[in-house]
């Protein structure tokens, strides 16, 4: 089974990126977690682009990556009590094309304290509601002694949800 991991932060040393790397290491042998690295390369969402012809190549790549994945795992920092603009932009490119429709999506944020990041995650879940995504998780994971265990637990819950829904094999 392939899960596409998306880091909502563009920072090179992001704790959300670290969270996704831990998820990659903690995934069961039958699960491949692939990190999507094209977030910063996506053009600004503009519906007129598609009405005029083919979407940009980076958008086509994103859509193909999402379509070929059994689920997504999104690590989303909170910026200004919401989700980061680059992540919202990516989701906007996916809303009308169908790849994200009813997709299983694991959602979390790496935070310094368990009460942080909740508004950003709520905004992300609200946006995913536009495509009836099936959200797994939705709670921040605070850095600390249990960080890796909690990341592994979220991965296990995500994999279980995919298997419950019939899953898809590794491409």
50 is a domain residue: no
Predicted pLDDT of residue 51:
85
What is the domain extent for residue 64? 2-44+57-164
Predicted pLDDT of residue 52:
87
pTM of the model: 0.95
Per the structure block, which two tokens stand in for 6?
């998306």
How many domains are contained in the chain? 1
Q: What is the CATH number of the domain that holds 137?
A: 3.40.50.360
103 is a domain residue: yes
Return the number of other C-beta atoms located less than 10 Å from residue 97's C-beta.
17
Report how far apart, in Å, the C-alpha atoms of 165 and of each of 23, 50, 102, 124, 136 are.
21, 32, 11, 22, 13
Per the structure block, which two tokens stand in for 157?
């819950």
Mean pLDDT by runs of 10 across the 171 residues of the chain is 97 96 95 97 93 92 98 97 97 95 98 95 97 97 97 97 78 41
49 is a domain residue: no
146 is a domain residue: yes
Predicted pLDDT of residue 65:
98
52 is a domain residue: no
Alpha carbons 117 and 36: distance in angstroms, whole number:
22
**What is the bridge-based pairing of β-strands 134-142 and 32-36?**
unpaired
34 is a domain residue: yes
- Cβ-contact 132, 98 below 8 angstroms: no
Predicted pLDDT of residue 50:
83
Predicted pLDDT of residue 171:
41
* Residues in Cβ contact with 110 at an 8 Å cutoff, skipping those fewer than 6 apart: 14, 15, 16, 18, 19, 75, 77, 140, 141, 143, 147
């Amino acid at each position: 089974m392939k899960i596409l991991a998306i880091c909502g932060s563009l920072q090179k040393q992001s704790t959300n990126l670290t969270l996704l790397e831990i998820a990659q290491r903690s995934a069961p042998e039958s699960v491949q977690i692939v990190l999507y690295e094209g977030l910063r390369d996506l053009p600004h969402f503009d519906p007129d682009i598609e009405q005029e012809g083919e979407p940009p190549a980076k958008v086509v790549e994103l859509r193909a990556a999402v379509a070929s994945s059994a689920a997504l795992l999104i690590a989303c920092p909170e910026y200004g009590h919401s989700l980061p603009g680059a992540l919202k932009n990516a989701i906007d490119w996916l809303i009308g094309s169908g790849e994200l429709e009813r997709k299983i999506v694991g959602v979390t944020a790496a935070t310094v304290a368990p009460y942080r990041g909740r508004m950003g995650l709520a905004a992300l879940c609200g946006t995913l509601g536009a495509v009836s995504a099936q959200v797994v998780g939705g709670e921040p994971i605070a850095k600390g002694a249990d960080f890796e265990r909690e990341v592994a637990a979220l991965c296990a819950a995500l994999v279980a949800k995919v298997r419950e829904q019939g899953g898809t094999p590794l491409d």
